[in-house]
Chains A and B, each alone.
Chain A
Amino acid sequence: MSPPAEEPLERRAAITGIGQSAVGRRLGRSGLDLTVEACLAAVADAGLTRDDIDGLATYPGMGVGTPGFAGPTGPEVHDALRLRLNWHDGGGEGPGQMRALIAACLAVGAGLARHVLVYRTVTEATAQGGGGRQGIGGDGGGDGGGGVPRFSGFLQWMLPFGAVSAVNWIALVAQRRMHEFGLTRDQLAQIALNARRNAAENPAAVFRDPLTLDAYLGSRMISTPLCLFDCDAPADGSTAFVVSHRDYAPDAPRTACHVQAVGTALRGRPSWDQFDDLTTMAARDAAAAMWERTDLRPADVDVAQLYDGFSVLALVWLEALRFCGRGESGPFVADGTAIARTGSLPLNTAGGQLSGGRLHGFGLIHEACVQLRGDGGARQVVRRGGPPEVAAVSNGGGPIAGALLLTRGRG
Chain B
Amino acid sequence: MTARGPALRLLPALDDDNRFFWTSGADGRLRFLRCPACRAYVHPPAPRCPECLAAGLAPEPVSGRGRVVAHTVNVHGWIPGSEPYLIALVEIDEQPSVRLTTNLVDVEAEDVATGMAVEVVFDEHDGVFLPLFRPAERTAP
Contacts and interface: CB of A to CB of B under 8 A. Distances in A.
Contact of B75 (A222, A274, A276): A222
Nearest to B114: A179
Nearest to B125: A160
A140 B9 CA distance: 8
Contact of A274 (B13, B43, B88, B102): B43
Interface residues of B, number: 41
Nearest to B6: A162
Interface in B86-141: 87-89, 97-103, 109, 114, 128, 130, 132
A377 to B, nearest CB: 36
Interface in B5-26: 5-6, 8-15, 18
B114 A135 contact: no
Interface in A135-155: 135, 137, 139-141, 148-152, 154
A139 B79 contact: yes
A156 B79 contact: no
A152 B12 contact: yes
A150 B127 CA distance: 13
A137 B18 CA distance: 20
Given A151-B12, A172-B71, A179-B114, A157 B101 contact: yes
Contacts of B13: 150-152, 156
A140 B74 contact: no
A9 interface: no
A163 to B, nearest CB: 5
A176 B73 contact: no
Interface string B76-91: 1011101001011100
Contact of B130 (A158, A160, A174, A176): A160
Given A150-B13, A175-B114, A274-B99, A162 B72 contact: no
Nearest to B101: A273
A176 B78 contact: no
Contacts of B8: 139-141, 148
Contact of B73 (A137, A139, A150, A224): A224
Given A168-B87, A273-B101, A161 B5 contact: yes
A278 interface: yes
B85 A162 contact: yes
A159 interface: yes
8 contacts: A139-B8, A148-B10, A157-B100, A160-B11, A160-B12, A160-B130, A161-B103, A224-B109
Interface of B: 5-6, 8-15, 18, 43-44, 69-76, 78-80, 82, 85, 87-89, 97-103, 109, 114, 128, 130, 132
Given A139-B8, A172-B88, A274-B98, 20 more contacts: A135-B78, A141-B8, A150-B10, A151-B12, A152-B13, A157-B101, A160-B9, A160-B10, A161-B103, A161-B132, A164-B6, A168-B87, A169-B101, A171-B74, A172-B69, A179-B70, A179-B114, A220-B75, A222-B75, A273-B101
